[in-house]
């Protein structure tokens, strides 16, 4: 089944074909480690994690790199503010980032390069750009000369004239042209810096991705992903650096996710309307957050709200209930993904909402299935869940698992259920209902069936 991806460069869905057959290279812009990741930051992580899983079903080797930006103005500022070392800041937030993303069932990337480990490659890239006449040194800075590139602006669809029309580019007197951007800048004595041909300094924002991609994945990679707001200037400038340094295609498929909105406005650090993943994990399981992020297509804005999360929670509960009802059913090991609606949906530019709809269809069929049909349906449902990174928990544990604020324990619940059974057997329905109401007040829902009474927290 061919995978089709929407390529920002060109603005259309294209059939995906890796440069090297059976081996895919993918790079996603990772965090600058100076504070906690918010749920908006988690969107690309979850989206590209689904892509990572999907690619692995079709290609023998999938190399997925996600960088850690550990040198940056904001890190320096955070260290100063907290009166602590740069390393202690970056180490703390790198560790927390990994924990938070793991809580969202995101697989670790194949490679997790740190910018500070690749300074040499950045200096080398800068030297090449100077040699080739695309960069110049000025007042201790090295700048990329955007006018030296024929089709600068192609990814974001803007020309140099367009950009100047905005007139909000930083005009600095060391720039030959206002749109030129920094490759290397001088470092203050107290700030982190590395020796370079231009004195002690540090890299500009865009340089690390170009340098690390070349060093780790090669001059041309298949997929480069990130949030929409990175299209310009970040990815545009990466293209400029890499193409001017070593020609060829830098990236074959550019993918950009839309953001999370809060009340119709972008969730962002600068607007201060964000919720951190860590904070949300106090109230919701990671899988609930993940499901919420996947409930809209990645290129559409997604309004983030308590209602969204509550709905994700109840949908997952319902799907896990279905799985619990077939807990004793063996798995058909022979299922094929080909032709599966959820698989077709994901292969169509990661249409996760449609894939979720297909899971609902499987769940629905499972309720009505004959015993013969159940092993196959269950296997298909779990396979779909696995690609989306959901439904992997034990259903019973999912439905009955305790969270921090649950007042009543499983043992006590079982005792009350037995007491209710006894009351029912004695046809004392008033007493039976009383017990059920008591459990509802404790957040426990009972479900009677011929086989007996099951319960879940809800």
Partner RNA sequence: GGCUCGGUGGCAGAGUGGUUAUGCAGCGGAUUGCAAAUCCGUCAACGCCGGUUCGAUUCCGACCCGAGCCUCCA
Q: Which residues are annotated as a binding site for ATP?
A: 269
CA 235 – CA 228 distance, rounded (Å): 10
Among 55, 121, 245, 308, the residue binding RNA under the rule CB under 7 A is: 308
Feature table: binding site for Zn(2+): 29, 209, 234, 238
Q: What residues between 55 and 84 interact with RNA by CB under 7 A?
A: 74
Cβ closest to RNA, residue 272 vs residue 334: 272
Closest by CA position to 42, among listed 267, 277, 282, 230: 277
CA 76 – CA 342 distance, rounded (Å): 45
Instruction: Give the Å distances, CA to CA, from 202 to 50, 67, 118, 185, 196.
Output: 34, 17, 11, 6, 9
Cβ closest to RNA, residue 127 vs residue 373: 373
Per CB under 7 A, which region of 86-94, 153-161, 191-199, 246-254 contacts RNA? 153-161
Among 58, 128, 283, 303, the residue binding RNA under the rule CB under 7 A is: 303
Task: Kindly state the smallest distance separating residue 124's Cβ from RNA, in Å.
Answer: 22
Closest by CA position to 27, among listed 44, 43, 12: 44
Asked if 230 is part of the footprint of RNA (rule: CB under 7 A), the reply reads: yes
Among 98, 114, 154, 228, the residue binding RNA under the rule CB under 7 A is: 228
Q: What residues between 412 and 441 interact with RNA by CB under 7 A?
A: 424, 429, 432-433, 436
Among 174, 177, 194, 232, the residue binding RNA under the rule CB under 7 A is: 232
Asked if 223 is part of the footprint of RNA (rule: CB under 7 A), the reply reads: no
Q: What residues between 161 and 180 interact with RNA by CB under 7 A?
A: 162-163, 165-166, 168-170
Q: What residues between 337 and 396 interact with RNA by CB under 7 A?
A: 348, 351, 353-354, 356-357, 360-361, 363-364, 367-368
Cβ closest to RNA, residue 102 vs residue 172: 172
User: How is the beta sheet containing 135-138 ordered, strand by strand?
Assistant: 135-138, 141-144, 181-186, 201-203
Q: What residues between 312 and 331 interact with RNA by CB under 7 A?
A: 314-315, 318, 321-322
CA 115 – CA 449 distance, rounded (Å): 58
201-203 and 181-186 beta bridge pairing: antiparallel
Cis peptide preceding 233, ω within 30 of 0: yes
Closest by CA position to 290, among listed 42, 17, 1, 4: 42
Asked if 183 is part of the footprint of RNA (rule: CB under 7 A), the reply reads: no
Closest by CA position to 108, among listed 117, 95, 123, 126: 95
Asked if 257 is part of the footprint of RNA (rule: CB under 7 A), the reply reads: yes
Distance, C-alpha 134 to centroid of its chain? 34
Per CB under 7 A, which region of 49-57, 84-92, 156-164, 214-222 contacts RNA? 156-164
Feature table: binding site: 29, 209, 234, 238, 269
Q: Burial of 330 by CB count in 10 Å (0-12 exposed, 13-18 middle, 19+ buried)?
A: exposed
Number of residues that bind RNA (CB under 7 A): 79
Among 175, 224, 285, 297, the residue binding RNA under the rule CB under 7 A is: 297
């Amino acid at each position: 089944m061919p995978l089709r991806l929407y390529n920002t460069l060109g603005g259309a869905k294209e059939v995906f074909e890796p440069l090297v057959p059976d081996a895919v290279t993918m790079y996603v812009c990772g965090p600058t480690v100076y504070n906690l990741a918010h749920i908006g930051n988690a969107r690309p992580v979850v989206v590209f994690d689904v892509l990572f899983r999907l690619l692995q079903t079709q290609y023998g080797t999938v190399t997925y790199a996600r960088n850690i930006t550990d040198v940056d103005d904001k890190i320096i500022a955070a260290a100063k503010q907290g009166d602590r070392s740069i390393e202690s800041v970056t180490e703390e937030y790198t560790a927390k980032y990994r924990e938070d993303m793991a809580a969202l069932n995101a697989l670790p990337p194949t490679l997790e390069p740190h910018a500070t480990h690749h300074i040499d490659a950045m200096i080398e890239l800068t030297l090449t750009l100077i040699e080739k006449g695309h960069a110049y040194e000025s007042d201790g800075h090295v700048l990329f000369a955007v006018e030296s590139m024929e089709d600068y602006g192609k990814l974001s669809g803007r020309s140099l004239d367009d950009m100047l029309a905005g007139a909000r580019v930083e005009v600095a007197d060391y720039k030959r042209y206002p749109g030129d951007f920094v490759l290397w800048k001088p470092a203050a004595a107290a700030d982190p810096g590395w020796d370079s041909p231009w004195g002690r300094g540090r890299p500009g924002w865009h340089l690390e991705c170009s340098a690390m991609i070349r060093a780790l994945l090669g001059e041309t990679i298949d997929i480069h992903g990130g949030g929409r707001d990175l299209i310009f200037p970040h990815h545009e400038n990466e293209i400029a650096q890499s193409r001017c340094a070593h020609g060829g295609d830098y990236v074959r498929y550019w993918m950009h996710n839309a953001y999370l909105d809060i009340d119709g406005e972008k969730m962002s650090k600068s607007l201060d309307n964000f919720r951190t993943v860590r904070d949300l994990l106090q109230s919701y399981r990671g899988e609930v957050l993940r499901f919420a992020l996947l409930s809209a297509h990645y290129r559409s804005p997604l309004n983030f709200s308590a209602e969204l999360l509550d709905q994700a929670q109840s949908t997952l509960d319902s799907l896990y209930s279905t799985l619990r009802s077939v807990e004793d059913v063996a798995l058909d090991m022979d299922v094929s993904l080909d032709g599966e609606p959820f698989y077709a949906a994901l292969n169509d530019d990661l249409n996760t909402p449609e894939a979720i709809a297909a899971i609902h269809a499987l769940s629905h069929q499972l309720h009505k299935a004959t015993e013969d049909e159940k092993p196959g349906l269950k296997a298909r449902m779990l396979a779909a869940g696995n690609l989306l990174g959901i439904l992997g928990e034990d259903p019973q544990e999912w439905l009955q698992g305790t969270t921090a604020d649950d007042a009543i324990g499983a043992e006590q619940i079982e005792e009350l259920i037995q007491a209710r059974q006894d009351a029912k057997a004695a046809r004392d329905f008033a007493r039976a209902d009383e017990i059920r109401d008591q459990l509802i007040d404790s957040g426990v829902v009972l479900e009677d069936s011929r086989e007996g009474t099951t319960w879940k927290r809800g």
